[in-house]
Amino acid sequence: MTTRTLEKTQDTGTIRLADGGAWLTVCDRSLLTPGRGVAALLPDGRQVALFVDRAGRAYAIDNRDPFTGAYVLSRGLVGSAAGRPFVASPLLKQRFDLETGACLDDDEVTVPVFPVRTD
């Protein structure tokens, strides 16, 4: 019974992204499944890939895979390497750190990261 209460608590709230000087409301936290991504369209037309890990921490990176140009990172495989959360592109499998946007397989490549908060 306690476990269900904790899960319910983690699933509540609203996911917001910092964009410029404002916080944009993106979606309800309950719409995100730990370990799976969701794409969101920002008002300026950019796409963001949103993720929540099993501990309830939210992450947001650009949805565009810099190696192929396809907007697919939200469909990637989520994992961790050396304690760092990452998403692997579903196309060529390059891994991107969800906290920094750095490519773990090519030091010269990054994707933009967006600060996230859950209210």
Please check whether residue 83 is in contact with residue 91, taking contact to mean a CB–CB distance below 8 angstroms: no
Q: Is the pLDDT of residue 11 over 80?
A: no
Q: What is the pLDDT of residue 90?
A: 97
Q: Please, what sign has the CA dihedral across residues 54, 108, 75, 115?
A: positive
Q: What is the pLDDT of residue 20?
A: 82
Give the model's confidence band at 81: pLDDT under 50 very low, under 70 low, under 90 confident, else very high. Answer: very high
pLDDT digits (tens, 9 = 90+) for 52-67: 988 889 999 999 999 9
Task: For residues 115 and 23, give the distance between their C-alpha atoms in angstroms, rounded to a whole number.
Answer: 9
